[in-house]
Amino acid sequence: MDTKFSDQPDLESIQPERLIKYRVSDDGFAAEVLLPGFTYTDFDQKIGGKLNLWSLAKVFEAIRFTVLPKGFGHFPRLKDDGHSMFMASALYKVTDKGNEVTSHSYWGLHTPFLANLKIFYAGTSAFSFNILLSDYRSGETLVKAEMSFVYVDFKTRKPCPFPDWYNQLKEGQELTKPSERLVTPDIPHEAFKFDLQSAFSDIDHNGHVNQSVYVKWCTDAGTEAALKGHYSGFKGNIGTYPMNTFELKYVGEVLANEPVVISTWQDKDNHLVLHFVISKESKVAVVAKFIFLSLEYQPKVKL
């Protein structure tokens, strides 16, 4: 429990009318969310009921938007007709326990999860926060995430400074620097190319492709590359291999009905690292890096 909630009752005991329970600290810089568990559609049965990476990204989005409208990050005051918050980067660290999560053991209301959120950085036009997702019953950590969001002018789609009232609120907070964002790499000539076109169902409330869709696209592109023998060691669906971290940097936007090219290649120094660059009209929109724990293929589990 965050120290800002140490004098409050257990989260499970509050809001009896709600399936998803939450609370936001008085200063708006911390929050907690109690989730009832993963749903059936979060898992991929063809790879042994493992958790889909893009479903995990979507779960973290659900966590954020449980508390953002309730005052976390002072989001209701920041977001208005002329402004919004765009995701700038996301880094997910999957623990050994997190890699063991499957539909056979973690599907349903009997496996609730606790998410702790804390803003640890607030600059001139961006803030970053951590989300720690753990098994509520055992206390074991499943996934750690670090996310950064940029305050933007909705008309120009460009970053703009926080208002004065927000700058005053962040004074007195214990803030540190966020992790360095991914470097945009040069795409090697031998990179595997995967073409697709964005669909209207990929678009979110900000009018562009949702952040979780890029995770799905990278997984699809990586699996296609593996099946065609482009990688060394990866033989099938990359979602079957145990994950260490996956990280994304959002450089530009992809809108509905736009063709994109995903370039992917294996790191020459570490075969457990896969690189992805998503481009439209030869301009980089998203950079991603997936780091796996091993090349030990985890085949389909019989039901």
* Domain edge (last residue) among 131, 157, 179: 179
Q: Domain holding 46: CATH number?
A: 3.10.129.10
Give this prediction's pTM: 0.94
The pLDDT confidence band at residue 297, using thresholds 50, 70 and 90, is low
Cα–Cα nearest to 286, from 257, 239, 254, 256: 254
Are residues 113 and 189 located together in one domain of the fold? Answer: no
The pLDDT confidence band at residue 303, using thresholds 50, 70 and 90, is very low
Are residues 250 and 109 located together in one domain of the fold? Answer: no
* Domain edge (last residue) among 129, 151, 179: 179
Distance CA 290, CA 245 (A): 6
| pLDDT at residue 108 in the model | 80
Percent of the chain at pLDDT exceeding 70? 97
Structure tokens at 300: 């389909």
| pLDDT at residue 84 in the model | 92
Are residues 253 and 128 located together in one domain of the fold? Answer: no
Cα–Cα nearest to 63, from 7, 116, 121: 116
| pLDDT at residue 241 in the model | 95
| pLDDT at residue 61 in the model | 95
pLDDT tops 70 at residue 301: no
Are residues 201 and 245 located together in one domain of the fold? Answer: yes
Are residues 280 and 257 located together in one domain of the fold? Answer: yes
Determine the angle formed by the axes of helices 53-67 and 211-227, rounding to 10 degrees: 170
- Dump pLDDT digits (tens) for 143-167: 999 999 999 999 999 999 999 999 9
| pLDDT at residue 290 in the model | 98
Span 48-59, mean pLDDT?
93
Are residues 173 and 213 located together in one domain of the fold? Answer: no
Are residues 59 and 8 located together in one domain of the fold? Answer: yes
pLDDT tops 60 at residue 139: yes
Residue 173 in contact with residue 29, Cβ under 8 Å? yes
| pLDDT at residue 109 in the model | 83
Residue 274 in contact with residue 232, Cβ under 8 Å? no
Are residues 199 and 223 located together in one domain of the fold? Answer: yes
Are residues 151 and 208 located together in one domain of the fold? Answer: no
Are residues 56 and 189 located together in one domain of the fold? Answer: no
Span 33-37, mean pLDDT?
93
Are residues 106 and 153 located together in one domain of the fold? Answer: yes
What is the end-to-end Cα distance of the chain in Å, rounded?
A: 37
Q: How many residues does the chain have?
A: 303
pLDDT tops 80 at residue 1: no
| pLDDT at residue 185 in the model | 95
Q: Give the number of other CB atoms < 10 A from CB of residue 175.
A: 16
Number of domains in the chain: 2
- Dump pLDDT digits (tens) for 64-101: 999 999 999 999 999 999 999 999 999 999 999 999 99
| pLDDT at residue 3 in the model | 73
* Domain edge (last residue) among 179, 206, 232: 179
| pLDDT at residue 298 in the model | 60
Mapped onto helix, strand or coil, the DSSP state of residue 274 is strand
Domain residues for 141? 1-179
| pLDDT at residue 106 in the model | 84
Are residues 275 and 154 located together in one domain of the fold? Answer: no
User: What average pLDDT does the chain have?
Assistant: 93
Structure tokens at 104: 């056979």
- Dump pLDDT digits (tens) for 203-230: 998 899 999 999 999 999 999 999 999 9
